Chain A
C-alpha cells in the first residue's frame, strides 16, 4: 500500500518533483504550475493519511532503508507534527495556486527556477516536520533555508538582494548554533535519534551537566533566530517585505511556524518540561521575551507605512503569541500556542496574499495610498476585513480561539501580567489594522470600476479568509480530537 510509505512520501514527493520540474519545463513551460500544484496536493493527501494513522493507531515510526532506530534515520510522526505537517502543506498548496499568476507577473521567464526552488523549500519544511532524527533536522533546516534565501533574493526591488544576504548570514549563524547544540548532545549521549536522546539525556545530565546546558543554550538561541523571536527578528521584516508576493505569503506562514514546531519538539520531547522548569528556568525567559515581542512587534507595525512591512512586524508580534503559549508551561496555554501555529499561518498567508493582490493590480504598497481599493477590489478587501478582524481577535474567528486559550493559560499560570499583554496587543492590532480599513473604504475616494485580480489569485485568498471564520466556528473538532491528545503527550500534567 502506498500509504504505508506516506511518512517518507510527504518529503520525497516534492523533492523528486523539484528535480523533474526543469525536465518538464524543457518540453512545456505552461504545465509547470499545474504540475507543482498537483504534486503538493498529493503530498497534502499523504499528510492527511499520516495524521489519520496517528489518530487510529498511535504514533508512527518509519525507518529509512531498514535500519532500525536509533541507528538508522527515523521519521516519527505523532499528533503534534502530524498536525503541523497538514497545516503547512495545506498553506503551501493554497500558495501554489496563488503563485501562478503572481509569478508570471513578478518573475517573467523564471518560472522553472522559481518552482524548482519552491518545491525544494516544501520538501525541506516537510522533512523538518516529520523527521525524528536530530541531525536530519539540521540538514532539512539548511535545505529549506537555502531555498528561502534564493526565493527572497528574486524580489522585484534590488534591496531584496541585501535582504536575502542578511537573512543568509543570520540564518547560517543560527543553523551553526543548532549544529553545535546537536554536537554537544551527541558528545554526551552518542545518539541522534530524538526518542533515544530523550531517554539518555537525564543520565548524561547527571554526568556532564555543563555540556547539556550549553547544548540547550545553543538550541534556544539558534531556534529563536529561526523563529524570529523579538530581539533576534531583524532579518524578518526585510526578507518578508521585499520577497515576491507568493514567497512572502509562504515564508511568513510556514517557515517560522515550522521553526517554532522544531523548537517545541526539542524543548519538550528531547529536554522534557521538567528540565526546562526546574533546571534552566527557560520558560520564564521565553515568556518574557515573547511578551516583549508581542508588544514591540505591534508597536513597530504601527510605525510602518509599507503594507507588507507592517505585516512582517505583525508576524514578529504573532510569533510572540506562539512562544508565549509554549512558555507558560500549562496545557491550556500550550493548546493556544500550538493552535496559533495553524491560525496565524492561515491568517498571515491570507494577509500577504491580499498585499500581493493589491501590488499585482495597482503596484501600491503604501497604506496611505490604498484609498478607493475597497471599491475597485471589493472581494480582496472583504477578505482582508475578515482576516484582520480575526487578527484583532473578534469571535468567532480563529484569532479569537488563540487569544482565548492564551488568556486562559495565562490566568491558569497565575501570570496576570501576560493577560494584560494579550489585551494590550489586541488594542495595538486594532490600531494598525484599522488604519488600513480606513484607507481602503473611507475618505470618499472616487470609486473606479471593479478591477479584481484573476480568479486563481482571488480564490486562494477567499478560501483562507473563509477558513479563518470556519475553523473558528468549528474549532471544537480539532481541539478535542487532535489538540487534547497532543498536549497530553508533549506536556503531561
Chain B
C-alpha cells in the first residue's frame, strides 16, 4: 500500500512537496527576494516533474547507436525544460531588476512596509 502510493511514485511526491514549499514562500513571505526565490523553487519543482516523466525504465541516453535496438528515455520533456529554464531565468531577472528599482524608490523590499508607503 505505502509502497504503491509513496515509494513507487516518489518523484511525484518530491515535486509536489517542492512546489508547495515554493508556493508557500510566494504567498507567505513578506520579503520580495524571498518571494522570487519561492517562485524559483516552484518552477524548479515543475522542471523536476517534467524530467521525471521523460524517464523510461531501463532506458539509455537518447543518442542514436547504429545498428542496435536499445530503449531510449524520452528526450522531449528534457528539451522542453531547457526552454522552461530559460523562461524561468528571464523572469527571475526581470523580478530582480524590479526589486532593485523598488528598493531605490521605497527604500525597502518588505511588502508590508511598501504598502504603508504607498499612497
**Interface residue ranges, A against B (CB under 8 Å):** 135, 138-139, 142, 146, 149-150, 153, 157-159, 161-162, 164-165, 168-169, 172-173, 176, 179-180, 183, 186-187, 190, 192
Min Cβ gap B108→A in Å is 11
**CB closest chain-B residue, reference A145:** B91
* A161 CA / B105 CA spacing, docked (Å): 9
Across the interface, which residues of A come within 8 angstroms of B18, CB to CB?
A: none
Across the interface, which residues of A come within 8 angstroms of B95, CB to CB?
A: 165, 168-169
Bitwise, B18-57 to A at CB < 8 A (1) or not (0) is 0000010010000010010001001100100110010000
B17 on the interface (CB 8 Å rule)?
no
B71 on the interface (CB 8 Å rule)?
no
* Interchain CB contact under 8 A, A169 and B35: yes
B87 on the interface (CB 8 Å rule)?
yes
16 further A-B pairs in the complex, CB-CB below 8 A; given A146-B94, A179-B84, A186-B76: A138-B87, A139-B87, A142-B87, A149-B98, A150-B94, A157-B119, A158-B105, A162-B114, A162-B118, A168-B94, A169-B35, A176-B46, A180-B46, A180-B49, A183-B46, A183-B77
Across the interface, which residues of B come within 8 angstroms of A153, CB to CB?
A: 98, 101
Count of chain A to chain B residue pairs whose CB atoms are closer than 8 Å in the complex: 70
Considering only residues 44-102 of chain B, those with a C-beta below 8 Å from chain A are: 46, 49-50, 53, 74, 76-77, 80, 83-84, 87, 90-91, 94-95, 98-99, 101-102
* Interchain CB contact under 8 A, B102 and A142: no
Across the interface, which residues of A come within 8 angstroms of B43, CB to CB?
A: 172, 176, 179
Cβ-neighbour of A139 out of B32, B35, B39, B83 (below 8 A): B83
Interface SS of chain A: helix, strand, loop or mixed? Answer: helix
Across the interface, which residues of B come within 8 angstroms of A168, CB to CB?
A: 91, 94-95, 98
Across the interface, which residues of B come within 8 angstroms of A135, CB to CB?
A: 80, 83
* Interchain CB contact under 8 A, A172 and B39: yes
B106 on the interface (CB 8 Å rule)?
yes
* Interchain CB contact under 8 A, A173 and B26: yes
Q: How large is the interface on B (under 10, 10 to 19, 20 to 34, 35 or more residues)?
A: 20 to 34
A–B pairs, 10, beta carbons within 8 Å: A146-B91, A149-B94, A149-B98, A164-B98, A165-B98, A168-B98, A169-B39, A172-B42, A186-B76, A186-B77
* Interchain CB contact under 8 A, A183 and B98: no
Cβ-neighbour of B102 out of A149, A161, A179 (below 8 A): A161
* Interchain CB contact under 8 A, A187 and B98: no
Across the interface, which residues of B come within 8 angstroms of A186, CB to CB?
A: 53, 76-77
Min Cβ gap A241→B in Å is 13
* A165 CA / B31 CA spacing, docked (Å): 12
Of all A-B residue pairs in the complex, the 6 with the closest CB atoms, nearest first, are A158-B105, A142-B87, A161-B102, A187-B53, A165-B98, A159-B118
Most B-side CB within 10 Å, residue of A142, A149, A159, A179: A179
* A157 CA / B39 CA spacing, docked (Å): 26
Min Cβ gap A142→B in Å is 5
Across the interface, which residues of A come within 8 angstroms of B99, CB to CB?
A: 165
Across the interface, which residues of A come within 8 angstroms of B80, CB to CB?
A: 135
Across the interface, which residues of B come within 8 angstroms of A187, CB to CB?
A: 53
* Interchain CB contact under 8 A, A161 and B101: yes
Across the interface, which residues of A come within 8 angstroms of B87, CB to CB?
A: 138-139, 142
Across the interface, which residues of A come within 8 angstroms of B50, CB to CB?
A: 183
Q: A142-B91, A179-B46 are in contact. Are A165 and B53 (CB under 8 A)?
A: no
Across the interface, which residues of A come within 8 angstroms of B101, CB to CB?
A: 153, 161
* Interchain CB contact under 8 A, A172 and B84: no
Q: A139-B87, A158-B105, A165-B32 are in contact. Are A173 and B98 (CB under 8 A)?
A: no
